[in-house]
Structure 1
């Protein structure tokens, strides 16, 4: 009984000491994204387009456990191409994206680590209010991120992310039908932490 109580006390002390050892870092993150539009009706088809993102990020990590939170405010410029019949439209979307990811890191010393991350992302349209004359852009949208990557030399992070569009980015309503648009995105990122 004394061994169990002693073990529980040691574990409790470790958990209470963790917040005192938590690490908080700021950094700069950027990368390439490949977006594909999906439409609610099959008469409109989306195609892959590339773009970029860049902005500040912050990371809070509890070292012993490896759990943390990764937050960023990224300027995102992504391309889009859609085709309906013989009509083809290309557009560039500009937005501020705010991903909030729960991140788990498995470290191999201070020079190398691997991580997985997941969480919501909130996007705010700062570009045109229209995709085409008939498609009105929403002012904000939500999506869900899943990703993985590596941490190198205590300052560099390289990762890959997939972003599932949860809410509609744009909507077209006419007399015949309503068509809604979502965006799914692959992202390749590089970050430098100060």
Structure 2
């Protein structure tokens, strides 16, 4: 939590120090995600599952150089299907995710543009605290890498891949520790006001 607050405070300081011609836009972002959970135990299998995300976003850009910061607060529901020996179960993971990306925009005229983005994402579990025998952590960190297009200066279509930096869940049995990580592909649509 301290990391998130420190990051937000740093972003606020940077925004206050940048020139007046910088642009700040707010909007809504949503889309589909395809998640894959992986386990440190080799005898546990999992399948890709589809989910969704939606929430408010903000984009701060310096027009002349095309660099900016993109941040959002997204409610995310992703799924996991886990198979172990003769057991199988499906689970929806519900989180609030806060991606903070450094974004670089390439203009293609006044009607369109292309962007690339990368940065950390902080996730906070708001659903069940368990996935089978695994205890889901209250917070986790992933790293985003993505690209997309901007159309008519208000619409953005993007693709992101975020991979787990730390474990999402853990399980301990007979002195052995097992970890779970989650990697996700996302396809997003955003509208900026």
TM-score, normalised with respect to structure 2? 0.89
**Residue 14 of structure 2: aligned partner:** none
Deviates more, 1:119-128 or 1:100-109: 100-109
Question: Matched residues in 2 for 1:116 and 1:108: separation?
Answer: 14
In the alignment, structure 1 residue 100 sits paired with structure 2 residue 100: yes
In the alignment, structure 1 residue 167 sits paired with structure 2 residue 170: no
Cα offset, 1:176, TM superposition = 5.3
Structure 2's unaligned 5+ residue stretches are 1-17
TM-score, normalised with respect to structure 1? 0.89
Question: Matched residues in 1 for 2:87 and 2:176: separation?
Answer: 18
Question: Matched residues in 2 for 1:177 and 1:90: separation?
Answer: 24
SS of the residue corresponding to residue 19 of structure 1 reads coil
**Residue 136 of structure 2: aligned partner:** 137
**Residue 183 of structure 2: aligned partner:** 184
Structure 1's unaligned 5+ residue stretches are 1-17
Question: Matched residues in 2 for 1:40 and 1:155: separation?
Answer: 43
Runs of 4+ in 1 over 6 A off after TM superposition: none
**Residue 112 of structure 1: aligned partner:** 112
Residues 51-99 of structure 1: CA deviation (Å, up to 9, x unaligned): 0000000000001100000000000000101111121111000000000
1:5-154 alignment, distance < 5 Å? 19-132=19-132, 134-154=133-153
Residues 111-160 of structure 1: CA deviation (Å, up to 9, x unaligned): 1000000000000000001111x211100000000000000001000000
Between the two proteins, the alignment pairs up a number of residues equal to: 176
Question: Matched residues in 2 for 1:108 and 1:21: separation?
Answer: 20
Deviates more, 1:85-94 or 1:22-31: 85-94
Cα offset, 1:110, TM superposition = 2.5
Q: Larger radius of gyration, structure 1 or 2?
A: 1
